Amino acid sequence: MKKIIIFILLLLLVIFMAYQFGLVGFLTDISGLRAYLEGLGWWGYVIFILLSVVVAVFLLPGQFLAIVGGLAYGGFLGGLLTIIGASLGASISFIIGKYVAREYILTRFGSDPTFQKIERGVKENGISFLVFTRLVPVFPFAIQSYAYAMTPMSVKKFSLISFLTMMPASFIYAFMASEIASKGVSMTLLIELTIAGILLALLAYLPKRISKKINQLNSEYKKD
């Protein structure tokens, strides 16, 4: 109970401070955030990663961070920083949900349709469901980490799969932003984005296909 109260107070404090001191506005001001990060040199990398962690843990609106990373640091480095920050944030959120604020989250969100669908999806499809929801934004990204913390999934498994599955989108968004900033919108870019979208769709389809194949093999093995 003590951990829950501390977590709630900390969450409310951070959200209040974020709005009070303009952090939310700062995160959504892409041009201003880009200029700020560029002027910090190496410290900008650290701050960018920390911003990604804060956004993930406290459910702040940080959907533009990958784009800002691409604008400020280019496609490769921006994508790399994005995936590092997003993975750390997701893992920390998962740990908080699993070990610190589990009872509060169950009480507050246990009846939420998103939580129930994720719990049912993991129960019926296992790891392939996590892979699918990370590759395809079926559910709000920020809330997924807390929802998966309510399942029997381990921290190690969740962190590794989250890192691998969030990597394609992180690099695609950063690359897209970098290309548009340097070259503008072109037919070549549109073709590249189309190919990237097809690859993401295929990546999202594979886990389900593999899971079905494994289930079929298991059924045949049991019959024999």
Could you read off the pLDDT of 22-35 as tens digits, one per residue?
Answer: 655 655 566 777 77
How far out from the chain centre does Cα 185 lie?
A: 27
Residue 60 · residue 54 · CB < 8 Å: yes
pTM, rounded to two decimals: 0.69
Residue 214 has pLDDT above 70, yes or no: no
Give the tens place of pLDDT for each residue, 55-102. Answer: 888 877 666 788 888 888 888 998 999 999 999 999 999 999 888 888
**Distance, CA of 167 to CA of 163 (rounded, Å):** 6
pLDDT score of 218: 44
**Distance, CA of 111 to CA of 32 (rounded, Å):** 39
Give the tens place of pLDDT for each residue, 37-59. Answer: 778 888 889 988 998 898 888 87
More confident residue, 134 or 43: 43
pLDDT score of 220: 47
**Which strand (E) or helix (H) includes residue 44?**
helix 42-57
In which band, very low, low, confident or very high, does the pLDDT at 158 lie, cut at 50, 70 and 90?
very high
